[in-house]
Chain A
């Protein structure tokens, strides 16, 4: 996994609440058996005017000029800003894969759906829950002509907006994995003996669960 320590980038203001994973990556693209290549279909139904199918050359498609990703000032954005309950719906990890493939490393929103939130960390994306006031401030600022650039300092847990610093919360274990770019399977397997012992004990207590 790609580590993330500090990240600086342009904010893409997606002014919607309850953005679901069906919207992030529609179902027809879930048929892929790979983890990469989803970027061109991120927010497919909002981003293009025609219906997307897997395997198409997306550069030949009709884009929706009103959608935020298609506005020139946000074209190079890597920080996504949205409203409440971002990432609700299906557990598809294709959603963070699509965001990452597009280049998004940070998502700022007042709240996230649980499964999506966890999935982000497994893929080197940092979702940060920020207050509603700060969300509003960032939305306002990103509308200015030069847009909004933020620096995210994961190590010290700061969002840096020019001279303003806002701290944020993050689970210590998730932070550690992200900073180091660690695969948590390797970490868990270091406890193999514990798992084996637990398993033997547990199965003697609940013998009908061995099958």
Chain B
């Protein structure tokens, strides 16, 4: 029978089934400092061992400072949390990249970078953006802390099957249109709950055309459409990305693995519960104007009027969002003036993102009204690569700050944050109220668009800046 990619991966991991509730086996467990301490505590209290320690890769990322790391963490509470992770990893002999390790970075950047994310795997992490890893034809999903403890103790997860959705993006995207724009466009179309209960497989020629970095950006944002797992089928790009990565299989095992990975695509004619088709060429650079990623429009559009919304409950939400954002209905997006720029996060902090942003700011200066423009690479290795290519100099010359890797201003658990009322063009994934600092206002965009906004001081169509 023709089977979808999701079902193929799911089926080979089923340990038991009981009334549509499945126990599935987990191949890779990624851990960070925020959602794991209570899980380790629970293990200890119940006196349970870890089932398979070598399935785990741990890294501190949410709380780490992005400057002066040699001084350690100044915030005492953040410090305890990071030290708790260190202690747990030491006690259980887990692989961890500590804060001063060059391989440290955002958990969803380092997994693929290390080859610890492989096709066909089930991958979990106490973090909703685990969906990122689905770009490799893996079933990757975010879990809560109780489930982190469950996986630590049993190597399994209790789940029900998702329904399946296929989103085909056909054709070719225009110049400067990135995976981020495709993702935001999709969320604008289907809404932030559009994918709830589904595993979404992205396919079509525009998706095949994306690099692995782009596919990660897209799958990363699947959770913002409500879907716990985004997937892209394996192709030659997947395989060449993984070749010779530290955790990737070697020699004979590599050959074997590659043979098996080739099957990790949905079969011709496989039935999905829902299919959505989109045309790539119509996608414009996207900018969110509200407090939910679905509140998004093209750069050359105006902010919608709440009255134009079909649903009454949405109208209220739209009005509240406009008030919070300090914006007026019908205002052109290009009239929005910015205070800060953030290029980073597990959505857009990989080398390709930094290259694209650097290209836009090269030999230019950030606008006077921009108080702070940050570039926070996704990992120490991304940072090193960027420096090798001289991207750090391009950013610094333009007036950006060049920081150490971590989550940083994506969620502002460390010192990087927005002050009340400040407005930021951000390459992260959530524009919720207070996400980047209490009272802060976030507009989600691609790296190119954030870079262009830094130079212009307002939003501008990056295609016009050239």
Q: Give A contacts to B, CB under 8 Å.
A: 15-18, 20, 22-23, 26-28, 30-35, 45, 51, 54-55, 83-85, 88-93, 96, 111, 113-115, 118-119, 122-123, 171-173, 183-185, 188-189, 191-192, 194-195, 198-199, 202, 206-211
Contacts and interface: CB of A to CB of B under 8 A. Distances in A.
Interface stretch (B200-208, B233-241, B252-260, B349-357): B252-260
Given A89-B128, A119-B146, A17 B118 contact: no
Given A90-B430, A171-B160, A185-B153, 18 more contacts: A22-B411, A22-B432, A22-B433, A26-B438, A31-B413, A84-B313, A91-B126, A93-B144, A93-B145, A96-B144, A118-B147, A122-B146, A173-B21, A188-B150, A189-B153, A207-B253, A207-B256, A209-B121
Nearest to A95: B144
Contact of B257 (A33, A51, A89, A208): A208
Nearest to A123: B146
Contacts of A202: 12-13, 25
Interface string B335-375: 00000000000000000000000000000000000000000
Interface in B383-441: 411-413, 430, 432-435, 438
B19 A18 contact: no
A208 B156 contact: no
Contact of B155 (A15, A31, A93, A199): A199
B18 interface: yes
A86 to B, nearest CB: 10
Given A17-B317, A91-B143, A185 B260 contact: no
B189 interface: no
Given A173-B158, A185-B46, A20 B432 contact: yes
A30 B84 contact: no
A115 B147 CA distance: 10
B211 interface: no
B243 interface: no
Interface in B75-100: 75, 77-78, 80-81, 84
A31 B407 CA distance: 14
B228 to A, nearest CB: 5
A45 B434 contact: yes
Given A115-B144, A119-B146, A122-B144, A27 B430 contact: no
Interface string B16-48: 101101010101000000110110010000101
Given A17-B313, A88-B193, A113-B226, A31 B81 contact: yes
Nearest to A116: B144
A115 to B, nearest CB: 6
Interface in B241-276: 247, 249, 253-254, 256-257, 260
A17 B158 CA distance: 28
Nearest to A15: B316
B142 A91 contact: yes
A174 B466 CA distance: 56
Contacts of B196: 85, 111, 113-114
Contacts of B75: 31
A189 B23 CA distance: 11
Given A22-B433, A91-B143, A207-B253, A31 B154 contact: no
A185 B15 contact: no
B4 interface: no
Nearest to A119: B144
Contacts of B150: 184-185, 188
B170 to A, nearest CB: 28
A152 B193 CA distance: 26
A52 B193 CA distance: 30
Given A185-B149, A195-B155, A206-B120, A89 B430 contact: yes
Interface string B302-338: 0000000000011011001000000000000000000
A45 B434 CA distance: 8
A85 B146 CA distance: 22
B25 A199 contact: yes
B154 A92 contact: no
Given A18-B292, A85-B192, A88-B192, A173 B144 contact: no
Nearest to B146: A122
A35 B51 CA distance: 23
A208 B154 contact: no
B223 to A, nearest CB: 8
B247 A211 contact: yes
A185 B438 contact: no
B3 interface: no
B432 A89 contact: yes
B260 A92 contact: no
A93 B81 CA distance: 16
Contact of A83 (B257, B313, B413): B313
Given A31-B78, A211-B247, A22 B430 contact: yes
Contacts of B144: 91-93, 96, 115, 118-119, 122
Contacts of A113: 193, 196, 226
A18 B311 CA distance: 14
B253 A208 contact: yes
